[in-house]
Structure 1
Amino acid sequence: MRTIEKLLRTRSYPTLRVESDPAGACHWMYMHADIGSGVRPCFRTGLMNDMWGFLSSITLREDQRSNGRLRHVVVASDAPAFNLGGDLELFAQLIRANDREHLLAYARRCIDGVHHLHGGLGGDVRTIALVQGDALGGGFELALSCHHIVAEEGVEMGLPEVLFGLFPGMGAYSFLCRRTSPQVAEKLILEGRLHRSEDLYRMGIVDVLAPKGGGEAAVQALVEEQQRSPIAHLALNAVRGISQPVSRDELMSITELWVDSALRLGDRSLRMMERIVRAQVRRSTAQAA
């Protein structure tokens, strides 16, 4: 059993449940703490603001970091799903209004978050995605941005954006190409299929496969293992940034292409987005009941 106690903070995060060990060396950030009937576990603006606000609050300046001190951040979910991706209802509204400014602002907000996670909050943090429910679209991109993906058996992950004529534009291609070949990355994106965690583990995309209900224990074991050699893992953070960098400029260039592609979608694609939103609402309502 992990030793975790809730942190007292001057600012509350309505969409998050945050826990930390007493030393502040491991933070567990559970999305969708406000999940309820009709609330979709997707990247609503409020959730993103809370997530990036919390991550900024625990990001240390260079002069605040202790030599050889490794920290961990675990991204998990209080909802049955890990995260169902971007706010399709908002996307459809902005595309119908041809509102490039606000669509790009949303995309930039996503990029700022995944880039910060991928960079280890400045370098002294190893980030872990704990996937205990389905991770689709932007939810899968969030998991891919972390240093490690720990997934329980039987969950599904994938990039279904091609179903409404789009591609995942918040890091999927860049992060997948650091875990697999560009050919495999493109196949996963263009097929739009969902894949079970067992298959993604065999492909090397999921790092740790845990039994159902065993995800938190698997994360704890991974954290304890890395804390036995903190200097090596801190160094690997730096090595990763040198050998396989994912720059913010790269992510921003791709997401700007995503915005321009989204604004060219026709009514058929937008109606498909809206049907998916209605299905997500029905599913969330049934699960809450």
Structure 2
Amino acid sequence: MAGYMRTAVLMAAMTALFMGVGWMLGGGAGAVIALVVAAAMNLVTWWNSDRMVLRMHGARRAEGGGAEALRRLVADLAADAGMPAPAVYLIDSDQPNAFATGRSPDRAAVAVTSGLLRHLDREEIAAVVAHELAHIRNRDTLVMTITASFAGAISMLANFALFFGGRRDSPLGLVGVIAMMILAPLAAGLVQMAISRAREYEADRVGAEICGNPLWLAAALQRIQGLALRIDNNSAERNPGSAHMFIINPLHAHRYDTLFSTHPRTEGRVAALHEMARAAQGSAAGPWA
């Protein structure tokens, strides 16, 4: 519950930032217009988020006999999680990675790269899929897509305001206006990172419960992290705004991409999963004892 409250507060902060930039552009009327635009933008995102992200990464439906094992695995884990089976997509990339998208558990998709199927064993793949199912069940997919839209819109408005000078009669003065226009996108990025990082830890915890063993997910995260350092994900490099949706930052291949990472450190996530396994082993009724 605390995690959901934190996410709600951060989403409110993102909305306030958007309205603040609108106010700097047009005063009270600008703030109201920004709020209306935000509502419309979120509605469009809610309706089209899954198709937009899948198209962005060239994902295709997992069809044919070769994909049967993956579809069956996803369906079995979804049944264990008590949720509808999402659609399954494949992305042609040698970097092992995965993400989930969709506005609700009834309209959701899990996309995995071809590299994930090549480089990970079945238990690790199951753990990755379970992590993505946790995002769907927690409705993180919609939240993270909306925050990415907000961050992009705030940056666009800030650039617009800098170009036209913002409100010259602002009580903050021209210097204050310029400072806010520079700092607002940075603040939006920080809020987006905070939301994404909080949801990753929760999805790790729930995903470990769904797949039945936290150590499977810990091993998968370490393997993906190591390979992502060496293998490019070209579609993610072209669309860095979607990087926060992947289980591991797909932009690790380039040093500058780690400057504002939307993911918590893999070492911390692995440590939390190992602690989860130890706690279960210490309990007589623990499922992994």
Q: Same fold (TM over 0.5)?
A: no
Range class of TM-score, shorter chain: under 0.3
TM-score by length of 1: 0.27
TM-score by length of 2: 0.27
